[in-house]
Amino acid sequence: METILDILAVVILIVEVILLYKLRENRFNDNLTGAVRGMVLVGIVLFPILAILLGNYHVFVSTKESTACQSCHVMAPMANDMMFDQKSQTLAARHYQNGWIAEHECYSCHADYGFQGTMKAKLDGYRHLMRYVTKTYEEPIRYRGEFNSMNCYGCHEGSRTFEAVDEHQPVVENLKSDDPSISCLNCHGRAHPEPSRRTPGHKDYKWLADPKVKEVMSVSNPEEIKEYISTLAVSKN
Q: Which of 29-43, 66-80, 85-99 has the highest mean pLDDT?
A: 85-99
Same domain, yes or no, for 40 and 74?
no
Confidence bin at 38 (pLDDT 50/70/90): confident
Same domain, yes or no, for 37 and 73?
no
Domain enclosing residue 87, as ranges: 69-216
Average pLDDT for 129-147: 86
Amino acid at 147: F
Same domain, yes or no, for 52 and 123?
no
Q: Can you tell me whether residue 176 is helix, strand or coil?
A: helix
Same domain, yes or no, for 23 and 126?
no
End-to-end CA distance of the chain: 60
Measured CA to CA in angstroms, residue 39 lies from 33, 47, 48, 149 at distances of 10, 10, 13, 50
Same domain, yes or no, for 26 and 110?
no
Contact assessment for residue 66 and residue 78, using Cβ atoms and an 8 Å cutoff:
no
The share of the chain scoring above pLDDT 90, in percent, equals: 32
Same domain, yes or no, for 93 and 205?
yes
Query: Taken in order 180, 114, 84, 80, is the CA torsion positive or negative?
Result: negative
Q: Three-state SS string across 47-96, please?
A: HHHHHHHHHHHHHHHHCCCHHHHHCCHHHHHHHHHHHHCCCCCCHHHHHH
Same domain, yes or no, for 57 and 92?
no
Same domain, yes or no, for 143 and 211?
yes
Number of folded domains in the chain? Answer: 2
Task: Check residue 236 and give its pLDDT.
Answer: 40
Same domain, yes or no, for 171 and 76?
yes
Residue 28 covered by a domain: yes
Same domain, yes or no, for 94 and 206?
yes
Contact assessment for residue 109 and residue 143, using Cβ atoms and an 8 Å cutoff:
no
Confidence bin at 232 (pLDDT 50/70/90): very low
Same domain, yes or no, for 90 and 29?
no
In this predicted structure, the answer to whether residue 222 has a pLDDT above a threshold of 60 is no
Same domain, yes or no, for 75 and 171?
yes
pTM of the complete model beyond 0.75: no
How far apart, in whole angstroms, are the C-alpha atoms of residue 231 and residue 220?
17
